[in-house]
């Protein structure tokens, strides 16, 4: 088996064990073969627990089975040796040629390295941000934007056809409060004045909208139409349309600066206009899962795992907020999205069971557990050791625009995906601006820039490195770096399956650390031509892996820093 012919080392090793399994336990030939990377280098490159898996079925000692599996492994030019460890683990040690083949693979595949077609053609929708158009995007929306866009990119890297969708909650009480807030400002009333609405929005952006409304400004809507402010303080409907359009434009501007683009913008108001909300309520009643009590219509969500039943239609004949959510997800199903991932804040946790219960009650074929959710915790912003809570423009919260202006897009995007989504996150402004190894995005980008600097000093054509013999790459740091490079496809696969882009961010930091250590201990431009070219090839492969990983997170790979 030639490593160059099949560049995925894990797959090759798995095939060897599959062949051995057919000899040792033909009745268990379909058993899953798990290959994991040992935490300690002295335990080899991969460890296989197949012998332990088979022990119960074969009624034999795992170590005895391990001996037979090793004896049945076909000859391989890339497998140096195997050892039995512990209760029956098989540790596999690869030859330097196997690691060197990873460099060749990266140089050959370029931007495609790390990607696969395991989910080719699978239709997926990722819905994220979905902010109410009642104010500027806050840092929580920023975390959602970074997470959602990275998750979509990871799924695309596995071959999925991904639709990025933004759901505008442009109906309901909050939009009415926005209109009243702008109207009050237009009439000269400020927060704290007598007559200021209790639930009004208080940021300076409300005054900006009111000023533009009074100036009879015209705003282009997302659909290309023009929303004209008539300047009439008593026309609450015109104020509402103008304010919502104004804030949608502002949010779109922030997302454009954040380099996040959406394929579909879906309006909550359209669900009412198209009769979809009423249709869902009628469907729930027809399902027999509703009942009347205290003048309200209730859904037996307890039949689907909820802790108590929920109101569908209140006694005043208005619907509760989860009803349009159910209607919206019916449209997702009808549009052919069998896999849907919703990225939302942890404050939406209670809506998960209700939405799923509503979809199940309708009995339209939606599977249990649809859709998938990624819930993220809020973000605390720190500067100078103190929490930053206020934005001059937004009032009571820090905006995404603030973060981008303070530290730049790349730092914001990297930082906001660098931890598990459900973990509390402290965004340290001072750290994000630091030019040190403690700053993860700087540390990773600097590794990329260092490679570019070495290549500039060399002055040659990197294309010629694709044909360079790599047999000179045998030192411990070189082997360690090549092993780390080989992990990228596995990391991307894992991150895509778990909707966990922090796995990629963590990997990039580890890879950068490996390269910085190699760079600090090694001369690249040595007199020996074969050694020089081999080391440069390794450096270029590292640059490519860094660039590919950063691209998935929406972060740039600068050539100079």
Q: From 236, 262, 287, give the residue that closes a domain.
A: 236
**Rounded to whole angstroms, how far apart are CA atoms 513 and 447?**
8
Residues 6+ apart with CB under 8 A from 455: 462, 536, 539, 540
Element (H, E) at 123: strand 123-127
3-state DSSP assignment of residue 269: helix
CATH number at residue 60: 3.30.1360.70
All residues at 6 or more sequence positions from 100 whose CB lies less than 8 Å from its CB, including other chains: 470, 471, 473, 482
Q: Evaluate whether residue 427 is within a structural domain.
A: no
**Gyration radius from the chain CA atoms:** 29
* DSSP classification of residue 418: S
Q: How many structural domains is the chain composed of? A: 3
Task: Indicate the SS3 state at residue 178.
Answer: helix
Pick the last residue of a domain from 74, 94, 114: 94
Residues 6+ apart with CB under 8 A from 138: 394, 397, 398, 399, 400
In a domain, 64, yes or no: yes
63-72: long-range pairs with CB below 8 Å, 24+: 63/87, 63/88, 65/24, 65/25, 66/90, 68/24, 69/17, 69/20, 69/21, 69/24, 70/20, 72/19, 72/20, 72/23, 72/24
Query: Residue 479 falls within a domain, yes or no?
Result: yes
- Letter string b/e over residues 262-300, b meaning 16 or more CB atoms within 10 A of that residue's CB: beeebbbeebbeeebbeebbebbbebebbeeeeeebbbb
Give the CATH number, domain containing residue 445. 1.10.730.10
Tell me whether residue 317 is in a domain.
no
Domain ranges, residue 514 = 437-552
Asked whether residue 408 is domain-assigned, the answer is: no
Q: Does 347 map to a domain? A: no
Give start and end residues of each alpha helix (H) in 110-203.
Answer: 139-157, 173-186
Residue 111 φ/ψ, nearest 5 degrees: -65, -20
In a domain, 286, yes or no: no
Each residue's pLDDT, cut to its tens digit, for the chain (561 residues) gives: 343 334 578 889 999 999 999 999 999 988 999 999 998 888 999 999 999 999 999 999 999 999 999 999 999 999 999 999 999 999 999 999 999 999 999 999 999 999 999 999 999 999 999 999 999 999 999 999 999 999 999 999 999 999 999 999 898 889 999 999 999 999 999 999 999 999 999 899 999 999 999 999 999 887 788 999 999 999 999 999 999 999 999 999 999 999 999 999 999 999 999 999 999 999 999 999 999 999 999 999 999 999 999 999 999 999 998 999 999 999 999 999 999 999 999 988 888 999 999 999 999 999 999 999 999 999 999 999 999 987 767 778 999 999 999 999 999 999 999 999 999 999 999 999 999 999 999 999 999 999 999 999 999 999 999 999 999 999 999 999 999 999 999 999 999 999 999 999 999 999 999 999 999 999 999 999 999 999 999 999 999 999 999 999 999 999 999
Whole-angstrom CA distances from 43 to 484, 552, 561 are 16, 31, 38
Domain end point (choices 76, 94, 112): 94
> How many C-beta neighbours within 10 Å does residue 347 have?
11
Asked, for residue 222, whether it belongs to a domain, the answer is yes
pTM over 0.85: yes
């Amino acid at each position: 088996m030639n490593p160059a012919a099949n560049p995925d080392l894990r797959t090759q090793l798995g095939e060897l064990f599959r062949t051995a399994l057919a000899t040792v336990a033909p009745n268990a030939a379909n058993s899953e073969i798990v290959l994991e990377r040992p935490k300690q280098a002295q335990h080899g490159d991969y460890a296989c627990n197949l012998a332990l898996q088979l022990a119960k079925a074969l009624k034999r000692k795992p170590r005895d089975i391990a001996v037979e599996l090793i004896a049945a492994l076909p000859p391989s030019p890339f497998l140096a040796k195997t050892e039995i460890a512990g209760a029956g683990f098989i540790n596999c040690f690869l030859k330097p040629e196997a690691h060197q083949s990873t460099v060749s693979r990266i140089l050959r595949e370029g931007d495609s390295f790390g990607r696969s077609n395991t989910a080719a053609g699978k239709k997926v929708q990722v819905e994220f941000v979905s902010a109410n158009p009642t104010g500027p995007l806050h840092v929580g929306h920023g975390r959602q934007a970074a997470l959602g866009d990275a998750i979509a990119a990871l799924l695309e890297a596995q071959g999925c056809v991904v639709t990025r969708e933004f759901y505008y909650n442009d109906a309901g009480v909050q939009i009415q409060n926005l209109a009243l807030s702008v109207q009050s400002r237009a009439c000269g009333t400020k927060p704290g004045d007598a007559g200021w609405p209790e639930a009004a929005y208080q940021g300076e952006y409300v005054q900006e909208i009111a000023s533009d409304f009074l100036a009879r400004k015209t705003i282009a809507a997302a659909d290309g139409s023009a929303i004209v402010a008539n300047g009439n303080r008593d026309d609450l409907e015109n104020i509402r349309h103008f304010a919502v359009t104004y804030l949608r434009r502002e949010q779109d501007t922030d997302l454009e600066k954040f380099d996040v683009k959406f394929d579909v913008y879906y309006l909550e108001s359209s669900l009412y206009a198209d009769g979809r909300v009423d249709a869902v309520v009628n469907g729930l009643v027809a399902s027999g899962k509703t009942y009347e009590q205290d003048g309200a219509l209730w859904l037996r969500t307890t039949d689907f795992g909820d802790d108590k039943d929920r109101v569908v239609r209140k006694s005043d004949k208005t619907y509760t907020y989860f009803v349009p959510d159910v209607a919206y997800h019916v449209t997702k199903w009808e549009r052919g999205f069998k896999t849907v991932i919703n990225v939302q804040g942890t404050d939406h946790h209670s809506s998960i069971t209700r939405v799923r219960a509503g979809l199940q009650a309708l009995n339209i074929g939606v599977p249990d557990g649809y859709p998938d959710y990624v819930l993220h915790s809020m973000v605390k912003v720190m500067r100078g050791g103190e929490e930053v809570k206020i934005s001059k423009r937004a009032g009571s919260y820090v905006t995404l625009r603030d973060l981008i202006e303070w530290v730049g897009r790349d730092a914001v995007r990297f930082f906001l995906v660098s931890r598990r989504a459900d973990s509390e996150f402290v965004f340290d402004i001072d750290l994000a601006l630091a030019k040190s190894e403690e700053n993860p995005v700087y540390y990773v980008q600097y590794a990329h820039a260092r490679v570019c600097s070495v290549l500039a000093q060399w002055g040659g054509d990197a294309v010629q490195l694709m044909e360079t013999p790599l047999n000179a790459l045998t030192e411990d740091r070189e082997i360690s770096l090549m092993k780390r490079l080989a992990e990228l496809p596995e990391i991307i696969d894992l991150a895509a399956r778990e909707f966990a882009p922090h796995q990629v961010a963590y990997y990039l930091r580890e890879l950068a650390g490996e390269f910085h250590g190699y760079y600090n201990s090694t001369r690249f431009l040595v007199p020996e031509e074969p050694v020089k070219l081999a080391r440069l090839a390794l450096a270029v492969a590292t640059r490519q892996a860094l660039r590919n990983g950063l691209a998935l997170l929406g972060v740039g790979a600068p050539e100079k820093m």
